[in-house]
Amino acid sequence: MDLLQTIGGYLFTDIRMAAPVLLAGLGLLLMNWSGLLNIGAEGTMLIAALAAVAGSHYFGSVWMGLLLAMLAGAVFGLLFAVLTVTLRANQTVVGAAINILGLSLSTTLNRVLFGVETTVTKVDSFKVLEIPLLSKIPVIGQAFFAQMPIVYIAFLLVPVMHYFLFKTKPGLNLRSVGENPRVADTLGINVYRTQYLATIIGSMIIAAGGAFLSTGLLNFFTEDMVAGRGYIALAAVIFGKYKPAGIMIAAMIFMAGNVVSNVLQVAGVGIPYTFLTMIPYILTIVALTIFASRAVAPASLGKPYKRG
């Protein structure tokens, strides 16, 4: 029974830790299926994490924080879209600059808004929402049904996104843009509008992931607090083969590092924690080398489209 409880505990932690990566991955997925490769999730999450704290601080509600964070994400998405879709600039370079901007702007604004003192400003944060009855199920009850609302949203987004991408007409149209914008164009789909929408909505979902870091896992903002999760999300999309469920599994595997290290320490195996943090990245490289020869990614990913 003890062991089962421990497992339940690990599962609880894993699900909670996976949620922000999952959100970021789903946001990236939307962009990828429109043919855009955005490596700027890290920066988008950072500015969102700060915006969430600011919103929560000034409006007194964590939901206002989330709203402000998603607004900030939308602005970053719009910036990316203007440069890469309209001006057809190199998506990788713009994504890298988005990361630089997110890190530096969040740091700057944090110091301006909350000062440079060592004491952090704490704000209203998400509360656990226990679902009656279900949360009492042994072992998994707490893990699945005693989480914060945003965790439920993240995991509910998986089937929603899957349904949207693979079962609806707008989803099919979006995928056709990512696979072959010229074909989509001749069939009457507005490629640029599709890419703008995917980028802005995708960035808002990524931003929700960032907001969860500062107002869900914690209740304050620290500099560079995303700590590579934006890159892990990028990895999760590739490892998850561009499918929502795949991204969910990847996020849970990648974030299980904490759990694994606990288990290993208990078992007395001396694998340092730092090696465990490498796992997502190594798995992604392995996945890339295996999938690269097969078509898994949308065929036009990363290539700018020019009409006519």
Partner 1 sequence: MKALFTTKMKTQGKAGAKQVLVSFGATVFALALGMLLIYAIGFDPFSAVVAMVDGAFGSKNAFGETLVKMTPLIFTGMSYALASRCGLTNLGMEGQLYMGALAGTATGVYVSGLPAALHLPLTILAGFLGGALWGLIAGALKVRFGASEIITTVMLNTIAISFIDYMVNGPMIEPPGINCQTQPVQSTAQLPNLISGTRAHWGFVIAIVFVVLFWLFLWRSKRGYEVRVAGLNLSAARYSGIHTDKNILLVMFLAGGLAGLAGCNEILGIQIRMIPEISPGYGFDGIAVSLIGNNTPFGIVIGALLFGAFRAGGNRMQIRAKVPNAIVSVVQALVIFAVVASQMLLDKWNEHQMKKMNRQESEVA
Partner 2 sequence: MGVILEMENICKQFPGVLANDCICFSVNEGEVHALLGENGAGKSTLMNILCGLYKPTSGEIRLEGETVRFNSARDAMERGIGMVHQHFMLIPTMTVTENCLIGDKEGSSVKLDRKEAGRRLRELAERYGMEIDPDAVVGTLSVGEMQRVEIVKALFRGAKILILDEPTAVLTPQEARALFKMIRALTDHQFTVIFISHKLDEVKEISDRVTVLRQGTVVGTHDIDDCSIEDLARLMVGRDIYFDAVTRQQPIGDTLLDVNNLSLHREKSNDGKLLDDLTFEVHEGEILGIAGVDGNGQAELVECLTGIRKASSGEALYRGKNLLDLSTREIMSHDVSHIPQDRQKTGLVMPMTLVENFALQDYYKKSFGKSVFLDWSGVEERSTKLIQDFSIKTPSPYELAQNLSGGNQQKVVVAREISRQPQLLIAMHPTRGLDVGAVEYIHNQLIDQRDKGVGVVLVSTEMEEIMRLSDRIIVLYEGRAMGCVRPSETTVEEMGLMMGGRTLDDIRKGRVNGTPAEEKMM
Question: Among residue numbers 149 through 188, which ones bind partner 2 (CB under 8 A)?
Answer: 167-173, 175-176, 179-180, 182-188
Instruction: Write out the binding residues for partner 1, residues 72-131 only, by CB under 8 A.
Output: 79, 83, 87-90, 92-94, 96-101, 103-105, 107-109, 111-112, 116
Residue placing its CB nearer to partner 1 in the complex, 91 or 215? 91
Residue 90's binding partner among partner 2, partner 1, none (Cβ under 5 to 8 angstroms by kind) is partner 1
Contacts of 44 (CB under 8 A, 6+ apart): 73, 76, 77, 98, 102, 203, 206, 207, 210, 230
**Partner from partner 1, partner 2, none contacting 180, C-beta within 5 to 8 A by type:** partner 2
Residue closer to partner 2, measured from CB, 46 or 184: 184
Q: Which is nearer to partner 1, 166 or 275 (CB)?
A: 275
**Do the beta carbons of residue 54 and residue 215 sit within 8 Å?**
no
Q: Which residues contact 85 (CB under 8 A, 6 or more apart)?
A: 36, 192, 195, 196, 199, 304, 305
What count of other Cβ atoms lies within 10 Å of the Cβ of residue 256?
A: 20
Distance of closest approach, residue 234 Cβ to partner 2, in angstroms: 21
Is the CB of residue 178 less than 8 Å from the CB of residue 35? yes
Longest alpha-carbon distance in the chain: 66
Smallest gap from Cβ 200 to partner 1, in A, equals: 17
Cβ-based nearer residue to partner 2, 16 or 175: 175
CB of 270 to partner 1, least distance (A): 10
Q: Six-digit token pair at 45?
A: 């999450």
Site string for partner 1, 198-237 (x = CB under 8 A): ------------------------------x--x--xx--
Hey, what amino acid is at 270? Answer: G
What is the nearest approach in angstroms of partner 2 to the Cβ of residue 164?
9
DSSP codes, 178-232: HH-HHHHHHTT--HHHHHHHHHHHHHHHHHHHHHHIIIII-SS--TTTTTTHHHH
Give the residues lining the site for partner 1 (CB under 8 A): 37, 39, 79, 83, 87-90, 92-94, 96-101, 103-105, 107-109, 111-112, 116, 228, 231, 234-235, 238, 272, 274-275, 277-278, 281-282, 284-285, 288-290, 292-293, 302
